[in-house]
Structure 1
Amino acid sequence: MVSGGLAATAPFPPKVRAFTTLRHGAGVSAAPFDSFNLGNFRGADGDDPVAVARNRAELVARFGLPSAPHWLRQVHGTRVLRFDAPALPPPQPSPASGGGSLDAARWEGSLAAASGERSLAAAYRGGSLVVASGGGSLDAAPTGEGLDPAAAFPPPPLAGEDGGRIEAARITQPHHRQVAFGDDEPEADAAVTGVAGVVLAILTADCLPVVFAAKDGSEIAAAHAGWPGLSQGMLEATLAAMRTPPADVLTWIGPCAGPASYEVGRNVFDAFVSHDAAAVSAFVATREGHWLADLPALARRRLIAAGMSMADIHGGTWCTMSEPDRFFSHRRDGRSGRIATLAWIGLD
């Protein structure tokens, strides 16, 4: 365990950092999102965007992240993005507008990690990121070095396995923007980087969060794989997006719906077994047309088929459904918050 989080148990290189947050011990969200909810704020039955924004700012400060995470708008697909620069701190929703659009402060400097990754210089003019109800803030220190605005110019998408799309994502540095909280998050279910200090983030509440790392620490990836994405090749697409050969990659499967709790119907069973008859070993019949599904086992099968060694695949032992004091679970609770799995390459 890390303080307030669950450390990845894979033997990653020392400079690769990865962990999953826990639902309690931090944050300001009210029930049923209590209390460290880092997602699920868009729908009418979701959390207060202001609370989620404060939780995300607290995440950066509490865990000493080297930059704001690259949050994704996850859609149970197979799209993979590559990030080559740290994310800008997000715009903060206005409590008066219920999380509607606001004028974000003009960006005047670059993200900077100070004192061995322990703080984030969020250089905004005229404001700082609120991290707690007491009004604490991250280091808000303008650098005085302006950034030229840049347009996003991804190369043409490459074909990933099972239709996955691999794209490079460069971060724009706008001088002025008007955007609602969360609206600037790109639609994808996995991300890759080889740049130190770039933080990748995956949100889950039963689905698989999977962290990938090159054995030499030169590259990392993080993927969200519910059963639709897993069956359609999300993990294979992530490996294909990495520049590291699969045989030289380590993975960690974070907390997800466990094999003793996750009951599925014929549609899920067929999605896997129709393409891989031996995948039946990951299902245990419970009643007519229903099975308990072992998502980590299904993930391991697909990673091995994509070229990884079984010895390099770790985790998959924590169950979100059976541990309500630690994890959010959509299947268990219906309305639920989201835990986050984060990964980055250290700057030191």
Structure 2
Amino acid sequence: MFLEATWPLAPFVGGFCTVRHTLGVSQTPFDKFNVAYHVGDNADHVAQNRRTLDSFLPRSPIWLNQVHGGRVVDINESNISECANNQLDADGLFTRLTNTPLAIMTADCLPILLSNEDGSEVAALHGGWRPLHKNIIKQALRFFESSPEHVSAWFGPAIGPKAFEVGLDVVEAFCNDDPNYKGAFVRHPDNEDKWLANIFTLARMQLLALGVKNIYSDDLCTVEDKTRFFSYRRDKQTGRMVSVIWRKYP
């Protein structure tokens, strides 16, 4: 029904990414399980889809107004009421609270779920190229008391390396920071002004550099799989999937 996070932490952590056609009531081009209000879909349909999502979770998730930045918010006892009622401008969420789902919407950007070994610390990140360049993974790991070698990452579906066309500005933004990032880019075979970026590789390189070695992913491409995934690059007007993570136990 959903894409379950494929890592050894399932006994301690709930984690999955939704798919577009299994459930939901949204109509074309948002069919069917769109959870985003900001894309032009019927608001009542989105609300119904979100209620359906809630039925698979211990409570309604914490949502963000995602702005393609590097900010990560720590959800705790002092701010959970405010954050549940007001969507903050940020692209990452962290919590130690039990049964508090964290939500990240995507339709080509890379959803990244993080957890320590016993699921007592979890995070959800919007891994577009801009948040990655702004070191959103590093910002999230600063909230973890667990050392990076005891943190695992799972990647949901995102735009694949055969479809992610970028300009030289994106290549330079990363490679000026670290020349090793060049390995995540190849020249476009049909357009000399474009490059093809591998967002999965960019995220892996950052995680490994930060000490996170347990990385799980099927590298599923949103552009190639129209049946299961929304893709902004492919369709322009489209819905959003949501990736969620929550701590199951105290």
How many pairs does the alignment contain? 248
Matches within 5 A, 1:7-26: 7-12=4-9, 14-26=11-23
Cα distance in 2 between the residues matched to 1:49 and 1:292: 35
Find the partner of 1:237 among 121, 136, 139.
139
Match of 1:275 in 2: 177
Q: Which residue of 2 aligns with 1:171?
A: 81
3-state SS of 2:52 partner: helix
Residue of structure 1 equivalent to 2:53: 59
C-alpha distance after superposition, 1:46-104 (max 9, x if no partner): 1122211110001111x2x101000111000111111125xxxxxxxxxxxxxxxxxxx
**Other-structure match for 1:47:** 41
TM-score, normalization by structure 2: 0.94
Matched, 1:38 2:21: no
1:212–1:249 contact (8 Å) kept in structure 2? yes
Give the Å deviation of 1:20: 0.4
- Tell me what 1:203 maps to: 105
Asked whether 1:6 is paired with 2:3, we answer yes
Aligned partner letter, 2:50: R
Secondary structure, aligned partner of 2:123: strand
User: Is 1:294 paired with 2:198?
Assistant: yes
After superposition, give the CA deviation of every residue in 1:164-199 in whole Å (9 maximum; x if it has no partner): xxxxx33249xxxxxxxx982111111111111111
Between structures 1 and 2, the one with greater helix share: 2
In the TM superposition, 1:177-192 aligns within 5 A as 184-192=86-94
**Separation (CA, whole Å) in 2 of partners of 1:335 and 1:34:** 11
Check the 8 A contact 1:13/1:215 in 2, yes or no.
no
Deviating 4+ runs (over 4 angstroms): none
- Asked if structure 1 preserves the Cα contact closer than 8 Å seen for 2:117 and 2:151, the reply is yes
> Is the CA contact (8 Å cut-off) linking 2:92 and 2:124 kept in structure 1?
yes
Q: Is the 8 A contact 2:99 2:249 kept in 1?
A: yes
**Are 1:304 and 2:202 an aligned pair?**
no
SS at match of 1:241: coil
Counting aligned pairs with the same residue, the percent is 40
Higher RCO (C-alpha under 8 Å, 6+ residues apart): 2
Bigger Cα displacement from structure 2, 75-84 vs 197-206: 75-84
Instruction: Give the one of 178, 181, 187 matched to 1:285.
Output: 187
CA pair 269-307 structure 1, distance change in 2 beyond 3 A: same
* 1:27 corresponding residue in structure 2: 24
Amino acid at match of 1:201: A
Match 1:265 to one of 167, 170, 175: 167
Aligned to 1:90: none
**Hey, what does 1:165 align to over in structure 2?**
none
Q: Is the 8 A contact 1:296 1:316 kept in 2?
A: no
Which residue in 1 is equivalent to 2:116?
214
Aligned partner letter, 1:337: G
Residue 300 of structure 1 and its aligned partner are, at CA, apart by 0.7
CA–CA distance in 2 between the matches of 1:172 and 1:339? 24
Q: Deviations over 1:291-315 (max 9, x none)?
A: 1110010101111111222xx0111
Note if contact 1:201-1:340 (Cα within 8 Å) is conserved in structure 2: yes
SS at match of 1:221: strand
Gaps of 5+ in 2: none
Q: In the TM superposition, what whole-angstrom CA distance separates every residue of 1:263-299 from its partner, at most 9, and x where no partner exists?
A: 1111211111111111111111013121111001010
Equivalent residues in 2 for 1:81-230 (5 A)?
Answer: 81-84=73-76, 169-172=79-82, 184-230=86-132
Alpha-carbon distance in 1 for matches of 2:10, 2:151: 11
**Bigger radius of gyration among the two:** 1
CA distance in 1, matches of 2:205, 2:177: 12
